[in-house]
A and B are shown apart, each in its own frame.
Chain A
Amino acid sequence: AQSVTQPDIHITVSEGASLELRCNYSYGATPYLFWYVQSPGQGLQLLLKYFSGDTLVQGIKGFEAEFKRSQSSFNLRKPSVHWSDAAEYFCAVALVHNNDMRFGAGTRLTVKP
């Protein structure tokens, strides 16, 4: 069955430090992968998406993600975290055969001053 796993429930980093959030997917066909962010009290906002081509994709707010087929991973990175990046981050995969986007359980990011 198609699934998305985010191994880290909660991550804390210091402001200015680098960040990597992990995402693994289980999906037989070519995956269509996404990262969304949810700030407190808000809905989800798309950060970036991967369909094909260059495996390193750039997104908004200085985020990037790298698709690694051999590892079934789509990890999100940012070189220097800002306090405003504190939020919950969701990895997702769009399914081919129905109108569904399967989400991971999310990783909550705390940024220390």
Chain B
Amino acid sequence: ETGVTQTPRHLVMGMTNKKSLKCEQHLGHNAMYWYKQSAKKPLELMFVYNFKEQTENNSVPSRFSPECPNSSHLFLHLHTLQPEDSALYLCASSQDSDLRTGELFFGEGSRLTVL
């Protein structure tokens, strides 16, 4: 098992669909993250969970709804998305939320296309 696993790897959805992205980490970490990676743009932090509590919401539109039922699982629920939301969504985890001394471990990403 790789450290951080994301499913699905690819998702195509219409603007009226509801879908979810799933992330699971097998590293025993306490912090989990959602990042958005668009072409030619820096990675954008979306959400941070530390010990299952959301500690950051980086002004993300409400059509993205995160859920963290436990320290090992993180979901991103998608509803009425826009074509500009098409991107690679990366999940990451770290031992704790102090990234100054830690390291982010990334999944392979979920490639989302919104039609």
Q: Is the CB of B31 within 8 A of A99?
A: yes
The contact of B108 among A41, A49, A104, A105, by CB within 8 Å, is A41
Q: Which range contains the number of A residues in contact with the other chain?
A: 20 to 34
B side interface size, CB within 8 A: 26
Between A and B, how many residue pairs show CB distances below 8 Å?
60
Instruction: State whether the Cβ of B48 lies closer than 8 Å to any Cβ in chain A.
Output: yes
- Write out the residue numbers on chain A whose beta carbons fall within 8 Å of the beta carbon of B31: 99
Instruction: State whether the Cβ of A43 lies closer than 8 Å to any Cβ in chain B.
Output: yes
Interface string of B29-46 (1 = CB under 8 A from A): 001010000001111010
Segment at the interface with A among B11-19, B62-70, B72-80, B94-102: B94-102
Instruction: State whether the Cβ of B4 lies closer than 8 Å to any Cβ in chain A.
Output: yes
Q: Is the CB of A106 within 8 A of B45?
A: no
- Write out the residue numbers on chain B whose beta carbons fall within 8 Å of the beta carbon of A106: 42
Instruction: State whether the Cβ of A89 lies closer than 8 Å to any Cβ in chain B.
Output: no
Contact A105-B103, Cβ < 8 Å, known A41-B108, A99-B50: no
- Write out the residue numbers on chain A whose beta carbons fall within 8 Å of the beta carbon of B58: 100
- CB-contacts of A60-113 with B (<8 A): 90, 94-96, 98-106
- CB-contacts of A1-49 with B (<8 A): 4, 9, 32, 34, 36, 41-46, 49
